[in-house]
Structure formats: structure tokens, C-alpha cells
């Protein structure tokens, strides 16, 4: 088997793209999107008619509602190519407003329902701020499943587990980027690759903590820079991977073995941890990397949402 097929024997493979024409070649179970991926997709000529159709039907709506129609349209097209779930993201500009995040999530679910898509096939993506996590907790109580994204710290993962969210997306590549940039010329790639990659270590710690303490939240590693990071997390519940890296795995015959094992976590010395709001905010503040990358990620998604809105109005 090629490396992608072997990986699928350990881990649920998820396509990280808004380009639904690319998905079928890799046969993932689920797919994830975000504002940056949708922006990238709609700038391709083959997606111009889809954008035009959405604006013809909904261009007179409030711009935020038109945006949600566009996101749901992409989600519906993606669902035609996968058997599982699609993740659709709430506007990043609402990341510090729990009530507004919950309201936007409910609207997305209603728009999917109007297209005949059951809520079981949708994950609502929300930035893992304290407010986002609390909104997700309320949505989960309503039977709406959530995917907490822009997750860079153990504290965020702990709070998500406490909130009972369906799934988290801890980022690997952006953590790697931060530590590499901070080290500068002293960075030793060989000493910080594979299982020793700082992003891989972060996801592995979260995964083992969840498994040891019976936390049902799914762990989906995200934001990969190379296939080595992916292979080092084989066995994680899910991994969401760009089409470019999926193609590299599909073309590779490099041996791949399970790296994470839920049973092994049971014997680890990992005390159970919980957070309330003050302890969460302090722990996140103490993690310079997570603080930097969370803020940067929200800014980047908000900026791409503005660019997408400009294209919609053009």
C-alpha cells in the first residue's frame, strides 16, 4: 500500500480544502474548510459560476448572510464527494463574542437543513478562545457538533474537553513555524523533526491526556508543513491534510507505522487538569507561542473574510 492507504488504517483522513474538485482523488472521510481556503477556491476560474450563482440568489441579503450562504454552498458541494462530515467556520470577527458565535452557528445549521443536510454531517468551526469554547459548549447541548480550531496550547485543549466539544483541531505547522522563527540561525531541523517536532509533541500530549482521562473529544491534528509531521502522528483520531500533502502521501511507498496509541496513554503519568476562566486565561497568557499564534490566526482569518466579502461585492 502507499503511505496514504496505510495511514487510513490507523487514522481517519480528512481533506483540508475548499476545492471540492480535488477531494475525490484521495477518498477522505471528512473535509474541513476555513475562510482562507474558501477565498483561495473562489479565485479559481472554475468556481466563478458558483460565486455568481450565490450572489444572484442572495446578493440582496445582509452581507453576513450572503457569506453564510456561500460557505454552506461550498459545504454542500463538498459533501457530495465524501461520506462523512464537513467543517464550516464561524466568522473569525466573532471570536470574542459567545452569543454572536452561537447565533451564527445556529444560522449555518439552519441553512444546511434548508438544503437537506442533517446536522450530523456538519461540524461548526469556532476559534478556541474562552468565548468560543463557551459558545461551543452551549451548541453541543443543543445537539450541534463543533470543531474548535486555532488551537495551539494544552490549556485550550483542556477547556475544550471540559466543554464536551465534539472535536478539536490542534495546529502542528504553525507551532513549528513559531519555534523555528524564534530559534533563528540556531534552529536544528534534525533535532526538531518527526516525533520531536514541537507541533507534533503538542498534539501527542493532548491526545494522550484525552485518552488517559476518558475525554471523548476527538483530536484532529491540523496545519501540516510536511509529510514527516503527518507520519509522526499516525494513530491520532483524525488528521486534516492539504491536497498537496495528500498527493505526496499517495505517491509514497515509505513504510508508515502507528505512532500514537490510545492504550499506551493509560499507563502514562499525566495528572488530570481542568480550567475555569481565570486559570485558562492565565495559562494561555503564560504560553507566548499560543498567545501569538491564536491572535495571528484570528487576524488572518478575519482579513481573508474581508477579502472574500470584497469579491462578493465586486
Model confidence pLDDT, tens digit, residues 93-130: 999 999 999 999 999 999 999 999 999 999 999 999 99
Q: What is the pLDDT averaged over residues 246-267?
A: 96
Per-residue pLDDT band for 264 (boundaries 50, 70, 90) equals very high
Mind listing the pLDDT tens digit for each residue in 183-201? 999 999 999 999 999 999 9
Instruction: Give the end-to-end CA distance of the chain in Å, rounded to a whole number.
Output: 47
Average pLDDT over residues 253-271: 95
pLDDT at 156: 98
Q: What is the mean pLDDT of the chain?
A: 97
Residue-level pLDDT at 295: 98
CA dist., res. 50 & res. 160, Å (int): 35
Measure the CA–CA gap between 314 and 292, rounded to whole angstroms: 33
CA–CA separation, 254 and 232 (whole Å)? 13
**Which pLDDT does position 227 carry in this prediction?**
97
* C-alpha cell recorded at residue 303: 482579513
Check pLDDT > 90 for residue 50: yes
Which pLDDT tens digit goes with each residue over 134-187? 999 999 999 999 999 999 999 999 999 999 999 999 999 999 999 999 999 999
**Catalytic residue positions, numbered:** 125
**Per-residue buried b or exposed e for 193-207, using 16+ beta carbons within 10 Å of the residue's own CB:** eeeebbbbebbbebb
Q: Give pLDDT, residue 191.
A: 97
Residue that has been written with the C-alpha cell 476527538 in this structure: 218
Model pTM greater than 0.95?
yes
What percent of the chain is predicted at pLDDT more than 90? Answer: 97
Q: What is the C-alpha radius of gyration for the chain, rounded to an integer number of angstroms? A: 19
- 314 pLDDT more than 90: no
CA distance 201 to 69: 38
pLDDT of the residue at 236:
98
Mean pLDDT for 295-300 is: 98
pLDDT at residue 225, as a whole number: 98
Q: DSSP character for 122? A: E
List residues bridging with 170 in a β-sheet. Answer: 151
Q: pLDDT tens for residues 53-99? A: 999 999 899 999 999 999 999 999 999 999 999 999 999 999 999 99
Alpha-helical segments (H) within the chain: 3-8, 35-42, 48-58, 63-79, 98-114, 130-141, 154-163, 173-183, 198-212, 227-231, 243-251, 262-265, 277-286, 288-313
pLDDT average, residue stretch 221-249? 98
Superfamily of domain 3-313: Aldolase class I (3.20.20.70)
Closest CA to 67 of 88, 40, 44, 96: 88
User: Residue range 128-133: average pLDDT?
Assistant: 98
Task: For residue 223, give the nearest of 247, 201, 245 by alpha carbon.
Answer: 245
Question: Using CA atoms, how far apart are residues 253 and 285, in angstroms rounded to an integer?
Answer: 43
Tell me the percentage of the chain whose pLDDT exceeds 70.
Answer: 100
Using DSSP, state whether 105 is helix, strand or coil. Answer: helix
Amino acid at each position: 500500500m502507499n503511505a496514504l492507504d496505510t495511514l487510513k488504517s490507523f487514522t481517519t483522513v480528512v481533506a483540508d480544502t475548499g476545492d471540492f474538485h480535488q477531494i475525490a482523488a484521495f477518498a477522505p472521510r471528512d473535509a474541513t474548510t476555513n475562510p482562507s481556503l474558501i477565498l483561495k477556491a473562489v479565485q479559481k476560474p472554475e468556481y466563478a459560476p458558483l460565486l455568481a450563482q450565490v450572489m444572484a440568489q442572495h446578493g440582496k441579503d445582509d452581507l453576513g448572510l450572503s457569506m453564510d450562504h456561500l460557505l454552506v454552498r461550498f459545504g454542500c458541494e463538498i459533501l457530495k464527494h465524501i461520506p462523512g462530515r464537513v467543517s464550516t467556520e464561524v466568522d473569525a470577527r466573532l471570536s470574542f463574542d459567545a452569543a454572536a458565535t452561537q447565533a451564527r452557528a445556529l444560522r449555518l445549521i439552519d441553512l444546511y437543513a434548508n438544503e437537506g443536510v442533517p446536522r450530523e454531517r456538519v461540524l461548526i468551526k469556532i476559534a478556541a478562545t474562552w468565548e468560543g469554547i463557551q459558545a461551543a459548549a452551549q451548541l453541543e447541548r443543543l445537539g450541534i457538533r463543533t470543531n474548535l480550531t486555532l488551537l495551539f496550547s494544552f490549556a485550550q485543549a483542556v477547556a475544550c474537553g471540559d466543554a464536551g466539544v465534539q472535536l478539536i483541531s490542534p495546529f502542528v505547522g504553525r507551532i513549528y513555524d513559531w519555534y523555528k522563527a524564534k530559534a533563528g540561525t540556531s534552529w536544528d531541523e534534525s533535532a526538531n523533526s518527526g516525533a520531536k517536532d514541537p507541533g507534533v509533541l503538542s498534539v501527542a500530549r493532548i491526545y494522550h491526556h484525552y485518552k488517559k482521562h476518558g475525554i471523548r473529544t476527538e483530536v484532529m491534528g491540523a496545519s501540516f508543513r510536511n509529510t514527516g509531521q503527518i507520519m509522526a502522528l499516525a494513530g491520532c483520531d483524525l488528521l486534516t491534510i492539504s491536497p498537496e500533502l495528500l498527493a505526496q502521501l499517495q505517491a509514497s511507498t515509505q513504510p508508515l507505522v502507528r505512532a500514537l496509541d490510545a492504550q499506551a496513554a493509560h499507563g502514562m503519568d499525566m495528572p488530570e487538569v481542568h480550567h475555569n476562566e481565570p486559570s485558562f486565561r492565565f495559562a494561555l497568557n503564560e504560553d507566548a507561542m499560543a498567545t501569538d499564534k491564536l491572535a495571528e490566526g484570528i487576524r488572518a482569518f478575519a482579513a481573508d473574510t474581508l477579502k472574500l466579502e470584497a469579491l462578493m461585492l465586486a
